Amino acid sequence: MPKFAANLSFLFTEQPFPERFKLAAAAGFRGVEYLFPYDYPAADVAGWLREAGLEQVLFNLPAGDWAAGERGLACLPGRQGEFAESVERACEYAMLLDCSRLHCLAGLRPPGHDEAELEATYLANIRFAADRCASIGATLLIEPINSRIDMPGYWLDDVKKGFCLLDQVDRSNVKLQLDLYHAQIIQGDLARTIEANLGRIGHIQIADNPGRHEPGTGEINYPFLFNLLDRLGYAGWVGCEYKPLTTTEAGLGWRAQ
């Protein structure tokens, strides 16, 4: 089986954020990821990781005004200064948390700008972020997210577009974050997509479809895909980014199958 990381924005939400680290460790996870650490001092988060014996696998760059509905800054013309600040803040946390993967949200398609302008803005921002990440030994991840159900208006909403952007960015420390739940909604053909692009995939996330619940609750054949990842020698992490159908603990049985 691959290495599974608990996503603490989705799992163990029965308890406050600081408590979730030890719950993840007690449930057998060795790594954690979450959306954002910025509500807490990095030294506190580092302490929770250390006490639980966990590796910090991944978190996101600040993504604009999340509460107001923003979902990243990278494709937004006119927001480059704020984007640069978000890169700096994420890198400060990554160094203190010893985290070598950062995910950069693309943003929602803004009205009044053509596709060429959004793409040029995105590519320039991603190259800037990649070079700063390289200076601390980190990989920058970009993730296709479905815009049909979970994030209407999201700009990077196609898996092929994600791989095409990787080619254009042309930085060896930029990889694709393949969230198999989103990929299933966007296009399916999961096994072939993994097999054809393994070297360009820097992180994987899982949830079943429909519902975004734990593996085994929907149409995706996760035992088959986990076997495939083992057979292909995928050495990265698989983030458990799903909404437990009932409780987190009750929904962990799929790992033993």
Ligand X SMILES: O=C(O)C(=O)[C@@H](O)CO
Smallest distance, ligand X to C-beta of residue 116, A: 25
Question: Residue 146 binds which one of Mg ion, ligand X, none, with CB within 5 to 8 A depending on kind?
Answer: none
Closest CA to 144 of 83, 84, 198, 205: 205
- Of the pair 86, 205, the CB lying nearest Mg ion is at 205
CA quadruple 61, 28, 201, 206: dihedral, nearest 10:
-80
157 binds Mg ion (CB under 5 A): no
Smallest distance, Mg ion to C-beta of residue 144, A: 9
Question: Residue 60 binds which one of ligand X, Mg ion, none, with CB within 5 to 8 A depending on kind?
Answer: ligand X
- Of the pair 35, 52, the CB lying nearest ligand X is at 35
Pairing status of strand 139-142 against strand 101-103: parallel
Q: Is 14 among the catalytic positions? A: no
Of the residues 14, 55, 119, 241, which is catalytic? 241
Contact 82, 121 (CB under 8 A): no
Smallest distance, ligand X to C-beta of residue 207, A: 8
Question: Residue 45 binds which one of ligand X, Mg ion, none, with CB within 5 to 8 A depending on kind?
Answer: none
Pairing status of strand 174-179 against strand 31-33: unpaired
Nearest-angstrom CA–CA distance, 134 and 115: 28
Q: Is 143 among the catalytic positions? A: yes
Residues near ligand X (CB under 6 A) are 35, 60, 103, 105, 143, 145, 179, 182, 205, 241
Smallest distance, ligand X to C-beta of residue 237, A: 13
Pairing status of strand 174-179 against strand 3-7: unpaired
Instruction: Give the rounded distance of the alpha carbon of 19 from its chain centre.
Output: 21
- Is 100 buried (19+), middle (13-18) or exposed (0-12) by CB count in 10 A? middle
Residues with a known catalytic role? 143, 241
User: Applying CB under 5 A, which residues contact Mg ion?
Assistant: 179, 205, 241
